[in-house]
Chain A
């Protein structure tokens, strides 16, 4: 059976976000055999060129929904427009990103359409004729499989969970355009405020040392600073929870809602590895993780995994390294080169 799948494109400041193309992989996986019928939807004030780009990049149909005044994500407008679109043309599956906007509109959309909703999907498994959606629970300690029991099925895909699909396209997808003049005086967008991490230097550091709940109290952030002190052009950072506890400022947060970093070397110290954090640092060249819990999800993406208490490991590491460096300096020190 050919499945009809809608993909809601994610765009921000005139850019199509990569998760849009990862959603195409999700759609391919939902269709076990043959090719699904796919249509992208993109909503916004200025989306014509973005719609073109998606149709050219993927070869699939794109419905550009021009909404005058919708220059910025507004949940109230999405929640009016999307149900209307999917009542006019019904789909078996509606795939959205597990982003701050997708998480905002997807559950409401499933209610409006009388369908089902599965959020934070990481993969699809076809088992005994049932399409199962894989998602994490309990901070990544459990992987659960869900089946949908009512349609349409509204899904949100964890960004970065699937590789972007690049079809062997020879053609441009069909482009459709419509205009929705819509207004909602119950929820009015009035502006934005910049991120507190802007200008923190985190993004440009070559080495980033980050701490998580494993530091146990704010004063123990000194261990993170101690380790960072070994490296020139380094910066210290932290996971979301320690910012929430006010142990460090939000400007130092590494993760989706903080800074995304890709240094040469990244230390995750006492960080369990929530998706929110991993997504913000997995682009690092080399990852060292230190955690007392051998099952911490962070170890799955680390190049070097160390099951130790950071408060013992870091001081010993720093001391040993400094000692080695001193010994080396002494060995190399052959006195005044002119007298040798």
Chain B
């Protein structure tokens, strides 16, 4: 199996999210820390598990982003991936998924990947579009919200369960090549191992400038960013923690919810 895993660098989930002075994007101050999109870690792990089942498999990792996003490639190599490709795009504002998808699809087109994986979405922009768009651009099947995969050595199809509302799963038999976007919880992503990290340091990362791809209409434009309007329907309890405990007991008792 030849597998391409698409990963993205995002701000760490605990980082404060502040709109920048121009109101056009998020403030990326030097104190902010970045990590691999946690949903993409499931995609890397799933590829590694398939590689363990089917000998001779190779895993390529690809990302689109500025110089520093190289870190997520190193992390994936440290987890056990074989090679990494960096589509370098130094823009510091919003990049619509249609662009990301078009560049990855253009790269992947003639490389003969059997499987292309992405996380179900990125935790920052929450679009969930890149994977399905790559599938369409390459005219290959795409299954989103994949919660289980079953591969068969020497066969050109994969059995996939996708999660739907309520947690039930639809099962599909899909012919390769295909794109899968992986639902969280499909596996438990491993940590990079020291030996792999050391090995990864010696690996060269291929860099492709985003400008080398054919220009595309991004389709959408980010007009404005706001902090969500606070429309709290209820009340905030004030005072010390003891005061709050007493107030909550009173409120629940009055509503006959606690007796």
Using CB atoms and an 8 Å cutoff, list the residues of chain A in contact with chain B.
12, 72-76, 79, 99-101, 103-108, 110-112, 115-120, 127, 130, 132, 135-150, 184-197, 207, 230-231, 240-241, 243-244, 246, 250, 253, 256-260, 264-265, 286-288, 297, 299-308, 312-313, 316-317, 320-321, 324
A79–B46 alpha-carbon span in the complex (Å): 26
Is B249 touching A143 in the complex (CB atoms < 8 A)? no
B119 to chain A, nearest CB (A): 12
Q: Do B133 and A107 touch across chains, with their CB atoms under 8 A apart?
A: yes
The answer to whether B220 and A116 touch across the interface, beta carbons within 8 angstroms, is yes
Task: Report the minimal beta-carbon distance from B226 to chain A, rounded to whole angstroms.
Answer: 5
Given known A100-B163, A241-B184, contact A192–B246 (CB-CB < 8 A): no
In the A-B complex, the 5 residue pairs with the closest CB atoms: A116-B219, A195-B167, A244-B185, A108-B136, A303-B234
Q: Are B170 and A108 in contact (CB under 8 A)?
A: no
Whether B171 lies near A197 (C-beta < 8 A) is: no
19 contacting pairs across A/B (C-beta < 8 A): A72-B170, A111-B137, A117-B133, A119-B129, A130-B223, A132-B223, A142-B19, A142-B26, A149-B217, A186-B140, A186-B178, A189-B171, A194-B168, A197-B166, A231-B258, A303-B233, A304-B234, A306-B236, A321-B258
Q: Looking at the complex, which one of A146, A184, A317, A320 makes contact with B221 (CB distance below 8 Å)? A: A146
CB distance from A206 to the nearest CB of B (A): 9
Contact B166–A257 (Cβ < 8 Å): yes
Which residues from A are CB-within-8-Å of B218?
149
* A305–B234 touching, CB < 8 Å: yes
Verify B97–A107 contact, CB threshold 8 A: yes
- A110 touching B249, Cβ below 8 Å: no
B126 at the interface (CB under 8 A from A): yes
- Which residues of A lie under 8 Å from residue B217 when comparing CB positions? 149-150
Known: A73-B164, A253-B167, A305-B234. A137 touches B228 (CB 8 A): no
A307 to B243, CA, bound (A): 12
> Which of A74, A146, A312 contacts B241, CB < 8 Å?
A312
Q: Which residues of A contact B225 (CB under 8 A)?
A: 142-145
Docked-complex contact A107 and B235, CB < 8 angstroms: no
A258-B127 Cα distance, complex, nearest whole Å: 21
Closest Cβ of chain B: how far from A64's Cβ, in Å?
22
In the bound complex, residues from chain B placing their C-beta under 8 Å from that of A250 are 167, 185
Complex: A257 Cα to B142 Cα, angstroms: 20
Tell me whether B223 and A146 are in contact (CB under 8 A): yes
Known interface pairs A149-B221, A186-B141. Does A120 touch B232 (Cβ–Cβ under 8 Å)? no
With A79-B136, A190-B171, A297-B228 known to touch, is A264 a contact of B257 (CB < 8 Å)?
Answer: yes
Footprint of A on B, CB under 8 Å? 11, 13, 17, 19, 26, 97-98, 101, 123-129, 132-133, 135-137, 140-145, 159, 161-175, 178, 183-185, 188, 217-237, 241-242, 244-246, 248-249, 251-252, 255, 257-258
The residues of B that contact A258 with a CB separation of less than 8 Å are 166-167
Contact A185 B185 (CB under 8 A): no
Most buried by A among B17, B142, B223: B223
By the criterion CB–CB under 8 Å, are B230 and A305 in contact?
Answer: no
B258 pairs with A145, CB closer than 8 A: no
CA distance A5 to B248 in the complex (A): 48
Q: Is the Cβ of A299 less than 8 Å from the Cβ of B257?
A: no
Tell me, in angstroms, the Cα distance from A175 to B196 when the chains sit together. 62
A193 pairs with B219, CB closer than 8 A: no
CB distance from A336 to the nearest CB of B (A): 25
Question: Do B135 and A190 have beta carbons less than 8 Å apart?
Answer: no
Give the chain B neighbours of A324 by CB distance below 8 A: 249
Q: Indicate if the CB atoms of A147 and B223 lie closer than 8 Å.
A: yes
With A116-B219, A118-B220, A188-B172: A305-B144 Cβ-Cβ less than 8 Å: no
Q: Are A186 and B223 in contact (CB under 8 A)?
A: no
Given the complex, which residues of A lie within 8 Å of B124, measured CB to CB? 137-138
Contact status A100-B230, CB under 8 Å: no
Residue of B nearest to A289 (CB): B234
The reply to whether B221 and A185 contact each other, CB–CB distance below 8 Å, is no
